[in-house]
Structure 1
Amino acid sequence: MAYTKPGVTRNRIYQFVRQRLLDGEPPTVREVQTAFHMRAVQSAKSHLDALVKEGRLVKMPGKSRGYRLPGTAHSSRLAPILGRVPAGPFNIAVEEIEGYIPVRFNSEEQTVFGLRVNGDSMMSAGILHGDIVLVRSESEIHQGDIVVAMIDGEATVKEFRRVRNRIQLRPHNDAYPILSPKPEDLIIIGKVIEVRRYLEAISLIDEELNG
C-alpha cells in the first residue's frame, strides 16, 4: 500500500467523521479503522485524538459514538428504542431495548427515546403502523401536543386536549374513540417530537457502548 502522509490521512478521516455526524450517524473508532483499512484500532484512535486536540472534533467521555463537531447547536447521540406503543387498542408497553437510533439533541440534558407504533389510530396525523416515534420527556404538555401516555399501566399515543378541566386523549382516526382518563389514572410519558419512517427494513445499532 502506498505511503500517505499523516496530515492527508487525518484530513480524510476528519471529512469522513464530519459527514457521518452531519448524517446523524457518529462512527466508532473501529468503524474509522475499517473505513480506512488500518491494521490496528489504535491507529484510528490516534488520528481521532489528534483531531480532538486540534479542536476539529469534540469527544464526549464514556461513549464510543461520542464524537461531535465543535460549536454546533445540535449534538448527535443514540436514543434507545424501547419497544412498541399502541396507536389503536391498548397493549402493555414493552420496555425492552430493541436497539438504538441516531438523533440530534438540542441539549445534553434531554431525555429522548424511540417507540414503535402499533396500530392506525393516529394515521391522519401522519403517524402510521410501524413508524418509530421519538419521544422527549416533558414536564409541561400543551394543548394539541402528540403525547405518549400511560393509563392504568397501558401505553398509547394520542393528541392531548383539555376540555372543561377534563383531559382528553384524541385519536386521529374516526374509527377510534376519544379517551377521557381520570387524572389519577394518567401518566404522561413524554411528547412526540419526530416520526421516523423507513421504506425498507433497517438494522438498528445493537449497543450504545461497544468499545
Structure 2
Amino acid sequence: MGRTPTGQTRDRIFMYMRERLLAGRPPTVREVQEAFGFRSVQSAREHLEALVAEGRLDKDPGKSRGYRLNAGSGEARREPGGGSAAMPPRLIPLLGRVSAGAFSLAVEDLEGYLPIAPDRAGAEDTVFGLRVRGESMRDAGILPGDIVIVRRQPKADDGAIVVALVGEEATVKRLRLRGERVELHPENPDYQVMTPDPKQLEIVGRVIEVRRYLD
C-alpha cells in the first residue's frame, strides 16, 4: 500500500484532535500514535507539533494532555450559556483499497480516520472509507485515488453504487438486478459487465459519498 501524503495524515490527525477536544476528552500523544498506527510516539508528536506551528492547535507545556484548539481559530469549545455549537464530526476508519476495475483482493488495512458529518455517520461501525484504484467507474465521477464513503448494508436497490465481495475479492460497481441474475456494471465503456454467481456474491455496502484530494 502506498504511503499516505503527509498533509492528508495531518488533516486527519487534526480532525481527530478536534473531535476529542470538543467532546472534552483531550488525547495523549500515545493515544494519537495508537489511533493512527504510527510505529513510534515521536511520529505522532511531530505531527502534533506541526499543527501547533501552523496555528491549528495550542499547547500547554508540561501536560500530557496539554493540546487544545487554537482560541483564535473559532474552533474552541464554548462554555455553558455561551450559545450552541455545531455538532463535531464523527471519525470513521479508512480501510485499505477497493478496485474500480477487475476484481482485486479485498484488504481491510487501517490507513487512518476520516471526518464525516454526524447525521451521515449512522450507528457505530456502519460507515467506513475505501481508497479507489482503477478507472471502471470514471463516468460516475469516481477516479483512481478517490475515497468512497460506504455504509455497511447487505442489500441495495437496483442502480445503487456498491462495494461487492466475491470470495476474497472486492470491487466498486453499479448494481443491477435482473430477476435471479445480479450484474455489476462499470461506468466506463472500456470495461465489461460482471455477472458473478449470486451465491458467491456479498454486498458489503452502498457508496454514499466520494472524496477527492487535489494535493
TM class by smaller structure: 0.5 to 0.7
* Alignment pair present for 1:153 and 2:165: no
* Alignment pair present for 1:54 and 2:76: no
- For structure 1, list consecutive stretches of 5 or more residues without a partner in the other structure: 1-19, 46-50, 59-68, 201-211
Report how far residue 123 of structure 1 moved: 0.1
**CA contact 1:121–1:171 (8 Å) conserved in 2:** yes
The counterpart of 2:114, out of the listed 97, 101, 113, is 101
**Aligned length in residues:** 164
What TM-score comes out, normalization by structure 1 length?
0.65
Report how far residue 85 of structure 1 moved: 0.4
Determine the structure 1 residue equivalent to 2:58: 36
* Alignment pair present for 1:142 and 2:164: no
**CA contact 2:154–2:202 (8 Å) conserved in 1:** no
Report how far residue 108 of structure 1 moved: 5.0
Distance in 1 (CA, whole Å) between partners of 2:83 and 2:198 is: 47
Distance in 1 (CA, whole Å) between partners of 2:100 and 2:151 is: 18
Equivalences for 1:1-211 in 2 at 5 Å?
27=18, 28=21, 29=26, 34=52, 35-41=57-63, 54=80, 69=85, 72=87, 75-106=88-119, 108-110=122-124, 111-200=126-215
List 4+ stretches of structure 1 deviating above 3 A.
23-26, 28-31, 40-45, 55-58
Report how far residue 176 of structure 1 moved: 1.0
Report how far residue 43 of structure 1 moved: 6.3
Report how far residue 24 of structure 1 moved: 6.2
Deviations 1:129-154 (A, max 9, x none): 11111111124411111000001220
Distance in 2 (CA, whole Å) between partners of 1:117 and 1:87 is: 6
1:174–1:192 CA distance, 2 compared to 1 (3 A): same
Deviations 1:160-188 (A, max 9, x none): 11113311110001111111112211000
Distance in 1 (CA, whole Å) between partners of 2:115 and 2:82 is: 21
Distance in 1 (CA, whole Å) between partners of 2:135 and 2:83 is: 42
- For structure 2, list consecutive stretches of 5 or more residues without a partner in the other structure: 1-10, 28-47, 69-76
Report how far residue 77 of structure 1 moved: 1.4
1:175–1:37 CA distance, 2 compared to 1 (3 A): same
1:54–1:195 CA distance, 2 compared to 1 (3 A): same
What TM-score comes out, normalization by structure 2 length?
0.64
1:78–1:129 CA distance, 2 compared to 1 (3 A): same
Q: Percent identity?
A: 42
1:161–1:56 CA distance, 2 compared to 1 (3 A): farther
1:43–1:54 CA distance, 2 compared to 1 (3 A): farther
Distance in 1 (CA, whole Å) between partners of 2:140 and 2:79 is: 46
Deviates further, 83-92 or 131-140: 131-140
The one-letter code matched in structure 2 to 1:103 is I
**CA contact 1:26–1:77 (8 Å) conserved in 2:** no
The one-letter code matched in structure 1 to 2:161 is I
Structure number with greater Rg is: 1
CA RMSD of aligned residues (A): 3.4
